[in-house]
Amino acid sequence: MKFNTNIYLALILLFIPKYSISATTPKIIQACQLDSLLTVANSQAYAEVKPQQLANLTAEISGKVIDITIEVGDKITKGDVLFKLDDRQWQLQLKQLDADIKGIKARLKLANYQLKQRTKLHRGGNVSEELLHQHKTEVASLTAELESQNFQKQQLQLTLSKTKITAPFSGVIIQREVNLGEWVDPGQPVASLLNPTKVEIKAFLDAQQLANLTTKTRLKLHINKQVFPVKRQTLLPMLDADKNLQPIILKPTGKIPLPGSQGQLRWQTTTKKIPFRYSLKVNESYGLMLLVDNKAQFHKLPEALPGRSIVVDLPAKTLVITTGFRQLKTGDLVKNKGCSNVNSGRDLSGFGNLTGINLAGLNN
């Protein structure tokens, strides 16, 4: 029994030094001064191109299509007649109305002449007051009737103008809905017209991106390897319901992107930031692992967002651990082997996974 006890004691003494050495041995890391890690970051945001002039043309009156002057893809000018409806019934009504108006004018001319004569006779006492009043009433009645007929004529002319469906602006026919000889009703679509030169670009930015965007920032829209210079026009005072981001309206300053296309709005910020790859996530918060008195110390960055480079309000000489920091916790002993090759080029963290690496997945 004594022998066994000695064996146990020997084993305990054997492991005590090994445990002590492991607990006090610092981990080898690389730490660099904060100012050597900062870069001028590139930012990007989703953007879409919307047409400003896109019209679904419809018939305003009922009628039979008797002429079509356009095909899909045709370029047209504002005011061009695209469709003609049968207007014969309206033309007949207009002729009848013109004849009625002509007759009323003749009667009114006679009534005015008779009133003039009766007025002279009334002054001489040869016509009664009642007869003179009758003539005045007849002139007034014919005048009102003529005004009514002229109003009807204006309405008829307006209806006739609607038998010709014209282009409200210059553009390209992108769809045709009816064929020759078909009957159309009010509100029925007949064609779609697009002006590809009038577009509005809408991008969606978060608060941090907006804070770094100035009037002098050079903005570029990237769509399928094409680059379109754009300028800021309006910041909408609202949040997009689906994206929870604030929309900004932009205008192209050179060549115009195709309406309906989607891409990335990109720009270079003036504020220097630390790339997201140097951050880690601890207890649902992103931050940096710093070297302080030969120990690791986690520094929380409340404004940090996944995949985005980060503005850091720390002294320029602060030592940031750049290797092995995801295996450290606050209080671990570390030894700095020196700093080298920290920035091999521009920071791409603002471009998310465009480099083939999902930077948003880089947590602890």
Which CATH number fits the domain that encloses residue 60?
2.40.50.100
Question: What whole-number distance in Å separates Cα of residue 210 and Cα of residue 233?
Answer: 14
The DSSP annotation for 286-329 comes to: EEEEEEETTEEEEEE-TT--TTS-B---S-TT-EEE-SSGGG--
Using the 3D structure, point to which of 194, 211, 237 is the last residue of a domain. 194
Question: What whole-number distance in Å separates Cα of residue 227 and Cα of residue 211?
Answer: 24
What pLDDT is attached to residue 10?
Answer: 53
In a domain, 118, yes or no: yes
Q: Which of residues 172 and 244 earns the better pLDDT score? A: 172
Q: What is the mean pLDDT of residues 319-348?
A: 80
In a domain, 12, yes or no: no
Q: Which domain holds residue 77?
A: 55-86+163-194
- CA 198-201-205 angle, 5° bins: 170
Tokens of 152: 């009807």
- Which of the listed ranges 4-8, 18-22, 273-277, 353-357 does the model predict with the highest average pLDDT? 273-277
SS3 of 68, please?
Answer: strand
Are both 117 and 139 inside the same structural domain? yes
Are both 99 and 142 inside the same structural domain? yes
Q: What is the mean pLDDT of residues 324-352?
A: 72
Other C-beta atoms lying within 10 Å of the C-beta of residue 350: 25
- With beta carbons less than 8 A apart as the criterion, state whether 75 and 197 touch: no
Number of domains in the chain: 4
Are both 130 and 184 inside the same structural domain? no
In a domain, 10, yes or no: no
Give the model confidence (pLDDT) of 31-61 as tens digits. Answer: 999 999 998 877 889 999 999 999 999 999 9
Are both 61 and 174 inside the same structural domain? yes
Q: What is the mean pLDDT of residues 14-28?
A: 61
Are both 279 and 351 inside the same structural domain? yes
In a domain, 14, yes or no: no
Which helix (H) or strand (E) segment holds residue 173: the answer is strand 171-176
Of the pLDDT bands very low, low, confident and very high (cuts 50, 70, 90), residue 112 is very high
Strands in 164-166's sheet, in edge-to-edge order, are 164-166, 81-85, 63-68, 183-184
Q: What is the average pLDDT value for the chain, to the nearest integer?
A: 87
Q: Which of residues 160 and 268 earns the better pLDDT score? A: 160
Q: How far is CA 324 from CA 1, 29, 121, 199, 231, in A?
A: 48, 6, 120, 49, 43
Q: Is the pTM of this model over 0.85?
A: no
Question: What whole-number distance in Å separates Cα of residue 199 and Cα of residue 134?
Answer: 66
Q: What are the residues whose beta carbons fall under 8 Å from the beta carbon of 197, sequence distance 6 or more? A: 256
Q: Is residue 289 packed enough to be buried (19+ CB in 10 Å), middle (13-18) or exposed (0-12)?
A: buried
Of the pLDDT bands very low, low, confident and very high (cuts 50, 70, 90), residue 311 is confident
Are both 151 and 216 inside the same structural domain? no
What pLDDT is attached to residue 342?
Answer: 59
Are both 117 and 236 inside the same structural domain? no
Are both 74 and 170 inside the same structural domain? yes
User: Tokens 């602060």 identify what position?
Assistant: 318
Other C-beta atoms lying within 10 Å of the C-beta of residue 251: 13
In a domain, 287, yes or no: yes
